[in-house]
Amino acid sequence: MTAETASVLTARALLLDMDGTLVNSDAVVERCWRRWSERYGLDFDAVIKVVHGRQGYASMAVLLPERSMEENHAENREMLAAETADMEGVVPVPGAAAFLASLEGLPHALVTSADVPLSTGRMAAAGLPLPAVRVTAESVGASKPDPEGFLKGAAELGFDPADCVVFEDSGAGIAAGRAAGMRVVGVGPRAGEFEPTVQVADLTQVRVEPVAGGALRLTFG
């Protein structure tokens, strides 16, 4: 790895979160979790701070700590179905289409807490292509902030964790990337308070180009 600055990173592979990073699905997420919050008499503002980046059952475990995981998993299936049926307001994060186009032929993977139907539906609703390598909810046994998903993504691409850069928007996702031993590009306003390696407002501020030796140079701003 070459020397780096705050505006330049060098990597060999990129691991991309979906919601909040490539796709703005906040409208759907907030609708579904607001209904859930009302059902249990919970403060929605507190709930929404927990749910970003995590699988639904993991969020429920934090928010309803006395409830069984069996109940959480059952209700998570209902939540996934509701989110998959609701694509109103799902749009790409600015710059996402050009960013993904620039990665064609370069090592990258989607690492999302969504399952296959939800990730496929949201990427399609946003008009974005699905990366060939995908790590979804079905692929892992633990939700972000556990690093399992990012470690699996690196392994599937064939790179060491230290050679990968994560793109994330949430506290849980940034923590997962760090726990995997990776540097993290924080995308959007949520990312700032969790101290990513680099933060950008959106993907229009990111450029990726291959350089000698199979490396990727990321420049920001």
Mean pLDDT on 180-207: 96
Locate 105 and state its tokens: 């032929």
Whether omega before 196 lies within 30 degrees of 0, making that bond cis, reads: no
**Whether 17 is catalytic:** yes
Q: What is the domain partition of the chain in residue ranges? A: 8-25+90-220, 26-84
The hierarchical CATH code for the domain 8-25+90-220 is 3.40.50.1000
Query: What pLDDT does residue 4 have?
Result: 45
For residue 36, pLDDT beyond 60: yes
Has this prediction a pTM greater than 0.85? yes
pLDDT of 110 higher than 80 = yes
For residue 6, what pLDDT is reported?
58
Tracing tokens 């101290």 back to the chain, one arrives at: 195
Q: H or E element: which one contains 74?
A: helix 69-84
Summarised one tens digit per residue, pLDDT across range 133-152 is 999 999 999 999 999 999 99
Q: What is the mean pLDDT of the chain?
A: 95
Q: What is the mean pLDDT of residues 152-172?
A: 97
Of the listed 19, 26, 146, 163, which one is catalytic? 19
Catalytic hit among 17, 26, 146, 169: 17
Q: Which residues contact 132 (CB under 8 A, 6 or more apart)?
A: none
Nearest to 19 by CA among 155, 140, 142, 121: 121
86 is catalytic: no
Mean pLDDT, range 8-33, rounded to an integer = 96
3 pLDDT above the threshold of 50: no
Contacts of 98 (CB under 8 A, 6+ apart): 203, 204
